[in-house]
Structure 1
Amino acid sequence: MKILKPFTFLFSLLLASCVGNMNPTGGNSTPNYPYFITTEPLVVKKISVPVGTKLTYEEHFFVEGKQNHTMREAKLTTIDFPPGKELIWGGVPVSSINKFFNSEMRGYSVLADFSKLREDKKTKFSELWQSCSSDIGITIKNEDDWSFNKENIADVESCSVLYQRYFKDDTQQQSFLNEMYAELQKINSK
């Protein structure tokens, strides 16, 4: 019995140190997703991206961190534009486009930088967008096109957590998103 006491103590210590460091999301650290920083202008998901754009991809076996080349567009999860080189999407400067985390949904979130939106460029669409948040969710028909192509945009899925298509019985949320989608259709920019 005396022989087991040191082992029990060591086992308890080991278990406590493991439990204390556990991440509730399933890992002990953030995954080191593969990414590429563009070194020349490229067209990605039908968007012209400038030098310095960060393209982040899905987790992949044996591929982590910074890459020396682009990977398959089908695996792209995020486009982060360099500061000062925001994309104009729907007439609004955006800093990032992120594929929906839910793989059953076809679309992406667009993160606006309203501090870069000039007063003379504001529209009813940009005002609705800014009124609820800096990010909107867009459902699309073709997953290979993240540009502001109104033919490919199926709907405005969400505006922050305040307005979401998920809540079908909430007429206020649905009306707001319907209005936002109608105003998006009036925008002439690409």
Structure 2
Amino acid sequence: MNRKIYIALGIIVVLVAVVAIGNVILSGLSGMGNPTGGRGPNYPYFITTEPTTIKKIVVPKGTKLTYEEQFLKEGEQDEIMNENKLTMVELPEGKTIDWGGIPVFMIIKFFNPEMQGYSVYADFSQLKKDKKTKFSELWQSCNNDLGLLIKNTDDWTFNTKNIRDISDCGVNYQRYFRNNKEQQQFLDELYSELKKVNFK
């Protein structure tokens, strides 16, 4: 009788070990290609089928709208979702919208919930000479995205009354480094020039 118990226990231990090893192998395979080694969330998104107004901006057909992780919502969705959950607007390749006279192809909400704002990505190769301003020149010199702190999160337009400050311009200029006078002066000048832009 004791022998049968030992055999049964042995079989159970072997089965548990096989399942555990299988899970390790599968999780390793699922993480392949991901820089963090794990599989990231499959955020819900919607591809616009016609020109659409979102966060008070008009985006063209084919724009990808990505949303926060939501229960039972993954990958591409059949219909547009709640604007309050929007995290990213990505225009079709080669397409831009005018944002303060500057061609912009992507806007991403700040990941940090304590920071109310978003980052704007410009395609300066599409910027026409007659649209160049001191603001566009300063932004282009950063050679990267522009981070903006805003009052109303429902408005992602170039609304100088809604933009309360510039949090960063690329990696070289950050509001976070308050003791760095050069960075702060640059961001102050950039914000000052932004407010001078007369664009509607």
1: distance between equivalents of 2:119 and 2:27? 35
Deviation by residue 1:85-133 (Cα, 9 ceiling, x = unmatched): 3011111101100000101100000001111112222111111111112
Q: Which has the larger radius of gyration?
A: 2
**Is 1:111 aligned to residue 121 of structure 2?**
yes
2: distance between equivalents of 1:10 and 1:64? 30
- Aligned match of 1:154 in 161, 164, 167? 164
- CA-CA distance at 1:14 after TM superposition: 5.2
2: distance between equivalents of 1:39 and 1:86? 16
Aligned partner of 1:178 in structure 2 is 188
Do the aligned partners of 1:113 and 1:134 also contact (CA within 8 Å) in 2? no
Do the aligned partners of 1:168 and 1:174 also contact (CA within 8 Å) in 2? yes
Q: Aligned pair in 2 of structure 1 residues 81, 16: CA closer, same or farther (>3 Å)? A: closer
Identity %: 57
Aligned partner of 1:137 in structure 2 is 147
Q: Which runs of 5+ in 1 are unaligned?
A: none
Aligned partner of 2:99 in structure 1 is 89
4+ residue segments displaced more than 4 Å: 6-16, 18-25
Question: Of Structure 1 and Structure 2, which has the larger fraction of its residues in helix?
Answer: 2
- Aligned match of 1:125 in 130, 135, 143? 135
TM-score (norm 1): 0.88
- CA-CA distance at 1:17 after TM superposition: 3.6
TM-score (norm 2): 0.84
Question: Higher relative contact order at CA 8 Å, sep ≥6: structure 1 or structure 2?
Answer: 1
Q: Aligned pair in 2 of structure 1 residues 187, 35: CA closer, same or farther (>3 Å)? A: same
2: distance between equivalents of 1:16 and 1:53? 38
Q: How many residues align?
A: 188
Q: Which runs of 5+ in 2 are unaligned?
A: 1-9
Instruction: Provide the secondary structure at the position in 1 that maps to 2:71.
Output: coil
